Structure 1
Amino acid sequence: MTLLLTDNEVAERLDGLTAVAAMRAALLAAYSGRLVAPPRASAALRGGRLVTAAGQLADEWYGFRSYDTFGRPEAEQLVVLHEAGSGRIRAIAVGEEIGSRGSGALGAVAVDTLARPDAATVGVLGAGRQAWAQIWATASVRPLREVTVHCRTPAVRDAFAARVRAELGVPAHAVTSAAAAVRDRDVVVLATDSPTPVVDPADLAPGTHVNVVGFKQQGRAEFGPDLLDLAEVLVTDSVEQAMDYRPPMLAAVAPYADRLRHLGALLTGEQPGRTAADQVTLFCSVGLAGAEVFLLDRLARVEALSA
C-alpha cells in the first residue's frame, strides 16, 4: 500500500539527525553521480509557473517534487517516490514540511562542514517556514547557545523566538534590526523573501558562516556581491542548478563562478573547506533535485520497519 504523509505526520516522524544524515547521503550520492539530479523544469501557466524537480537514485528509486509559484496561501507541494524496478508509487508527501525540512537539513550539513567547530550562536533574518527549518536542523549538529531573529513584523519574530525556546530549548531573542541579529554570530541564516539585500557584510564578524536560502539572482537577491567578495569559501548543493538560473545566480557568474564548489566535494575531502578560523564561508542553497524524494525514501523505510 502506498504511504501517504501529511505535513503533521512529517513533522512528527522526522527528527533533525535523521534529516541531516539523509541530506548528507544525498549530497554524496549527487557528487558521485549515483543520484541523478538535473536542474528544475518549469511550465509557464497563467499567473505563475508549475515547477518540477526530479531525481533518480541508481536502480533504487526515482521521483519528483512539484510546486507552483502562484503565491496562494493554502497552496500545497507534492513529493512522489517510485520504486525503480516496478514503477510502483511507494510513498507520497503532501504539503510543505518535507521540502522545507529537507532544505533546512541541507543547510545544517553546510553548517556542520563549514562553521567553526565551536559555533554556538545563530542570527537569522526571516521568520517563516524556511527560517525555522534551518534552525531546527542546525540544532542537531551544533549545541546552540543562543538564537537571535529579525524580520519586518514584530509579532512574527516574537513568535519565532518563542517557538525556538519552546521546541528546541535554545535561548532565543527577537531583535529590532538586521544588524543586531547578525552581529557577533557564529552562524547567520538569510531566509527572507526580500528581492534586495537585507544584510550588510560589515556587520558580520570574522569567522562567520552564512547560509543563504532566499532570492539569489541578479536583480533579485537578499544579499549583494559584497557578501560574495567577503566570503573566502563559496559552496552550493547543486552546481548544475546554480548555473541554470535565469536571470543568473549571483555566485554563478564571474568572478565568483570559478570559486563555487559542490558541498559534496567538501564532504569527500576532495576540495578544502574552511582553512582558518577567521574565514567567512558562504553556502548558497539552490535546492538539490531529488533531495526531498531521498528524504521521503528514508521516512518510508522507517515506516516499513515499524509496521
Structure 2
Amino acid sequence: MTILLDDAAVAARLQPGDAVAAMRAALIAAHRGDLVSPPRVHAGVLTFTAGRLPGRWYGYRSYDKHLDGEQIVAVHREPAGDLAGLAVGTALGAYRTGALGGVAIDVLARPDATTVGVIGAGRQAWTQLWALSCVRRVSDIAIYSRNPQRAASLADRALAELRLPARGVSTAREAVDARDIVVLATSSPTPVLDPDWLAPGSAVTTVGPKQVNRAEFGPSLPARAQLIVTDSLAQLGSYDPPALLANAPAISLGAVIVNEHVGRTSDDAITLYASVGLAGTEPYLLAHLLAI
C-alpha cells in the first residue's frame, strides 16, 4: 500500500534531531558512493532530482522550477519496485534543506557557538533554525527581513515552537554583527551583507541564490572564508549560469564529516557552507520516515 503524506503529516512526523541524523547519514552515503545522487535535471518547466540506495529504494522529487507550487517526492522499494510512499506539498524539501544546514552547522561552527544571525524570514529561514535547535545551545538569535513583521513573526515562532530566544532587528548588519553563526536565507539576486561585518570565527550558511550575477552574496564573501564547503560538488558545478562558487576551492561536506578533509582549523577561521541541494536526499528522508 502506498502511503501519502501531506505537509501537515510530514511536519508531524519529523523531529529536527532525527532529520539531521538522517541527512548526516545521507551525506556520508553520497561521499562513499553508496547513495546515487546525480545533479538535478530540467524537463520543460519541471525539475527533477533523483536518488537511489541500491538494494533498498529509489526515488525522485519533481517540482515546477518557475512557480512555488506543490512538489512530489516519491520513493519505490527495491528490488520489487512498488511505490512505497509519496509526499505532496513543500514541507519535505524545505525540512530536508534545513536538516542539511543543521549538519553543516554542527560540523563547521565552533563548539561554543551560541549566537545566531539570520537574514531572511521565510520557510527556508525557519527550517534552518528548526535544525540548528538540535545541534547548538543557542543564547540569542537576531533576525532581519525587509519586512519587519515577517522577522517578528519568525522570532515569535522560534520562541514558541523551538524555545529559541529570537528577536527581529532593524538592519542586516545588526543581524550579522558579532554573530557566531550566520544564515543567509533570502531570494535576493544581489548581496545582502558585507563580509566585513562578519566576526572572526563565524560559520556562514547560504541557502538562497548563488549564481553569477544572481546571488545573495558577492565574491568577497568566499574570498574571506578560510573554508568553503558544499553538500554536492556535482550540483555546484552544474549550474547554468554558473555558480558564483564554481571555481572556488570548495570541498564536500561528506568529506569533512568522515574526516577525509580538515574542517575548521582555528577558532578565528570563517567557514562558508553553500547549500545546493544534494540530489537523492528528499527520497532518502521520505524513506527514513517510512522506515524503508
Report the residue type matching 1:278 in the other structure: D
Alignment TM-score, normalising by the size of structure 2: 0.98
Residue 270 of structure 1 is matched in structure 2 by: 260
- In structure 1, C-alpha distance between the alignment counterparts of 2:37 and 2:132, rounded to whole Å: 24
User: 1:136-183: per-residue Cα shift (whole Å, max 9, x none)?
Assistant: 001111111111101111111111111011111111110111000011
Residue 68 of structure 1 is matched in structure 2 by: 64
Residue pairs, 1:24-103, within 5 angstroms: 24-44=24-44, 49-72=45-68, 75-103=69-97
Report the residue type matching 2:12 in the other structure: E
- In structure 1, C-alpha distance between the alignment counterparts of 2:179 and 2:92, rounded to whole Å: 28
Report the residue type matching 1:54 in the other structure: A
For structure 1, list consecutive stretches of 5 or more residues without a partner in the other structure.
none
User: 1:15-40: per-residue Cα shift (whole Å, max 9, x none)?
Assistant: 00110000000000000000000000
- In structure 2, C-alpha distance between the alignment counterparts of 1:67 and 1:130, rounded to whole Å: 16
- In structure 2, C-alpha distance between the alignment counterparts of 1:237 and 1:213, rounded to whole Å: 11
**SS at 1:250's partner residue?**
coil
Residue 282 of structure 1 is matched in structure 2 by: 272
Which residue of 176, 182, 185 maps to 1:188?
182
Report the residue type matching 2:244 in the other structure: L
Report the residue type matching 2:116 in the other structure: V
**SS at 2:245's partner residue?**
helix
By how many angstroms is 1:252 displaced?
Answer: 1.2
By how many angstroms is 1:59 displaced?
Answer: 1.6
User: 1:98-150: per-residue Cα shift (whole Å, max 9, x none)?
Assistant: 10011000001000001000011111111111110000001111111111101
Residue 217 of structure 1 is matched in structure 2 by: 211
By how many angstroms is 1:70 displaced?
Answer: 2.9
- In structure 2, C-alpha distance between the alignment counterparts of 1:274 and 1:251, rounded to whole Å: 19
User: 1:188-219: per-residue Cα shift (whole Å, max 9, x none)?
Assistant: 00000000000110111000000100000001
Residue pairs, 1:1-307, within 5 angstroms: 1-44=1-44, 49-72=45-68, 75-253=69-247, 256=248, 259-301=249-291
By how many angstroms is 1:184 displaced?
Answer: 0.8
**SS at 1:224's partner residue?**
coil
- In structure 1, C-alpha distance between the alignment counterparts of 2:35 and 2:198, rounded to whole Å: 35
- In structure 2, C-alpha distance between the alignment counterparts of 1:171 and 1:264, rounded to whole Å: 31
**SS at 2:157's partner residue?**
helix
By how many angstroms is 1:71 displaced?
Answer: 2.4
For structure 2, list consecutive stretches of 5 or more residues without a partner in the other structure.
none
- In structure 2, C-alpha distance between the alignment counterparts of 1:154 and 1:122, rounded to whole Å: 18
Alignment TM-score, normalising by the size of structure 1: 0.94
Q: % of aligned pairs identical?
A: 51
The number of equivalent residue pairs is 292
RMSD: 0.9
**SS at 2:141's partner residue?**
strand
Report the residue type matching 2:287 in the other structure: D
- In structure 1, C-alpha distance between the alignment counterparts of 2:15 and 2:205, rounded to whole Å: 20
**SS at 1:252's partner residue?**
coil
- In structure 2, C-alpha distance between the alignment counterparts of 1:59 and 1:225, rounded to whole Å: 42
Report the residue type matching 2:271 in the other structure: T
